[in-house]
Structure 1
């Protein structure tokens, strides 16, 4: 562990120039005292590192010194697909490994390319979760990720959507991060299923391993599952009229499903600027709530039953306010 940290200290100084002991300690998640010892060890090994004293001082390498000790370990190389998702890597217990891999790659680049890579970091940032929500941090995630990596069968206690609980034996095939929520694709009874990780109440890694299907494509599976999920979630269609402002609300209130329906609309605006659109809606009460969010910017035309439900709800709301 210490040898790896010494390499990290060396590469940090090589990539960033002067750094204080406090900055190095924060970057490496160690104490300042540990940094002092690491610097002494590097100096004893012949690395030309020196300290500038004073408030603006810090450690830096003698000008021009560079090391080619940048080889990636197997684990570091495996984290590279997560390079754009440092928060997700941290949730999987791979944050420090990914940071080390990125540091080594940066150090291996020619100076011109290092400068360009630095500009990208300064100018672009990827923030995965939607507004007003964070990435989930399920307590079972790290253990589940280990089981996925090692092809290890697990026993899980799972809370279903209706609140009931069940015990499953699963072969976890892959993890997916969608809109801040983690899901696991798993094989159960010979079929492929999807489970939300935050609903796994308890997890036990079994001693037995499983053989991963050679033809299983996680991205293709998730794409197909997502399409089926949307069809199950939105089995009905509501014919509505939308004002210009109502059309602006659609992506926020109905997400990508509503946005696609709006984009596919082939109608023309009426004389008032309103547009007739067929919107996918959920069954039962959720559909009523979705449509009421639009207020006076949406008018339900069909089906008649849904139109009557909306009208009755509006009447009750009016009565509440006299």
Structure 2
């Protein structure tokens, strides 16, 4: 998160005499070019950051400068705390809590009541009802995060969607939180290709004494390339009136057409994958795939298999 990184950089500059672009890039796991852009953004906000060249060089803030509340507006502070609360909801990390406290400490005294009132009326929880954080999954997260910081490979046993239980050795790239679960995007040595692993399916996770190839791509780069390669599929769905209350949670108003009999037609585009099939099946008898015929057949076969289980 850029604003959180900028805030952390400013705090580091206030607490240290000088710090190099390379050191900042390694700490925040971004490129040196990104750090230079961050410094430009900090300068534009009114904080005078100076760059000194040479062996003893680095960035520093002028000695006669004192940070004031103009660096962040009151609305900025609320946005930062809201974002950090989102993160803390899925990640047990004391650094997130510390960052929130730092932001709260620079809120003007005459605004504290307004700030407290804002979060009294708004509670942020990105997790579904009944969801509980897994301590085991959090422990796995910490091991992988440590491996990422040390630029080391990890090994684990993994049970895939086919039920196979296989030992894996991977070069970790990115931790991803999606759909209420943590995943690891990494380069798999066994498959010699990039793979996404769900943390809850990992066992015997350990850091290996083997360095990661520095030229592995990130999940963001992989996802962007994958989305460009995959063309969206046009799909038409017919929902019963009983499912009507859920439809607007997932689809844009422009894609929804309400019929006189109470049923609803949704015409939209999706990236076709297992998630789409699961989403359709989650509506049970409350939805019918009208087209394309291929997806209609896939849902039909899945429903047959489900029906066979209960015979």
Instruction: From the superposition, tell whether residues 150 and 113 of structure 1 become closer, same or farther in structure 2 (CA, over 3 Å).
Output: farther
User: Paired residue for 1:34?
Assistant: none
Asked which structure has the greater CA Rg, the reply is: 1
Q: How does 1:70-219 map to 2 (within 5 A)?
A: 82=84, 84-90=86-92, 94-95=93-94, 97-137=95-135, 138=137, 139-189=139-189, 191-213=193-215, 216-219=217-220
> 1:308 and 1:203, CA in 2 relative to 1: closer, same or farther beyond 3 A?
closer
The answer to whether the 8 Å contact 1:246/1:294 transfers is: no
Moved over 6 A (4+): 226-231, 279-283, 286-289
Q: The residue matched to 1:128 in structure 2 has which SS?
A: coil
- Distance apart, 1:181 and its partner CA: 0.3
Any conservation in 2 of the 1:135–1:180 contact (CA below 8 Å)? no
Unaligned runs of 5+ in 1: 1-67, 69-79
Decide whether the 8 Å contact of 1:300 with 1:307 is kept in 2: no
The alpha-carbon deviation at position 227 of structure 1 amounts to 9.0
Q: Which of 261, 268, 285 does residue 272 from structure 1 map onto?
A: 261
- Per-residue CA deviations over 1:35-94 (Å, capped at 9, x if unaligned) read xxxxxxxxxxxxxxxxxxxxxxxxxxxxxxxxx9xxxxxxxxxxx98554223331xxx2
C-alpha spacing 1:103/1:230, structure 2 compared with 1 (3 Å): farther
Tell me: CA distance 1:200–1:229, structure 2 relative to 1, closer, same or farther (3 Å): farther
- Is 2:243 aligned against 1:246? yes
C-alpha contact (below 8 Å) 2:153/2:210 kept by paired residues:
yes
* Cα offset, 1:124, TM superposition: 2.4
1:290 aligns with 2:288: no
TM-score (norm 2): 0.52
CA drift of 1:211 comes to 4.5
Whether the 8 Å CA contact 1:152–1:207 is kept in 2: the answer is: yes
CA distance in 2, matches of 1:230, 1:148: 32
Specify whether residues 110 and 203 from structure 1 end up closer, same or farther in structure 2 by C-alpha distance, changes over 3 A only.
same
Match of 1:22 in 2: none
* Deviation (angstroms), 1:121: 3.1
Distance 2:229 2:201 in 1: 21
Deviation at 1:162, TM superposition (A): 1.6
Supply the distance in 2 between the matched residues of 1:271 and 1:185 (Cα, whole angstroms).
Answer: 47
Contact residue 129 and residue 135 of structure 1 kept, 8 A: no
